[in-house]
Amino acid sequence: MADATFQHTLAIVKPDATEHSAQIRNFIQKSGLTIVQYRRVHLMLEQASDFYNEHSGKSFFPILVSQMSSDVLDVMVLAGLDAVDTWKSLIGPTDPEKAKEEAPESLRAIYGESSIKNSVHGNDSVVGAELESHFFFFSSGSPETCPGGQG
């Protein structure tokens, strides 16, 4: 088995689950991951389209972009050993129904409503995490932080 690697990853609490954000952040911290950056933002439709550009042209793209720009979301950079895989494990499968069967303690099993309104977002790779973190925290076009959303 390979040695664990210290990593960063991006975590998003989607608009459909921000009412549970405190519980989700607590869940993250209990897992051993550390929240090193946090922002509450409201994406404009164009920003959501840019963020999910890899899904452009897919049938669910307009619904996803609309949902992600419908209200505030909480964005975090998480750090820890194997953070990408740890976060993916914590959130569970994309479809909450599948998550309830395969990972009943996962965030999507607990808070997810559908494949689009599945409560949280995570990366598939360290490179993806880096790019997505840059989008929210370090680029000149980063969404503005909402009042009370910096931690």
Which residues form the catalytic set?
121
Helix, strand, coil in percent for the chain, rounding step 5 = 45, 25, 35
Alpha helices (H) along the chain: 21-30, 45-51, 61-68, 83-91, 96-102, 107-111, 126-137
**CA-to-CA distance for 73 and 14, rounded, in angstroms?**
5
Tokens, residue 99 = 């998550």
Q: Is the distance from CB of 6 to CB of 81 less than 8 angstroms?
A: yes
In DSSP terms, 76 is beta-bridged to 11, 38
Q: Is the distance from CB of 33 to CB of 83 less than 8 angstroms?
A: yes
> At 57, which amino acid appears?
G
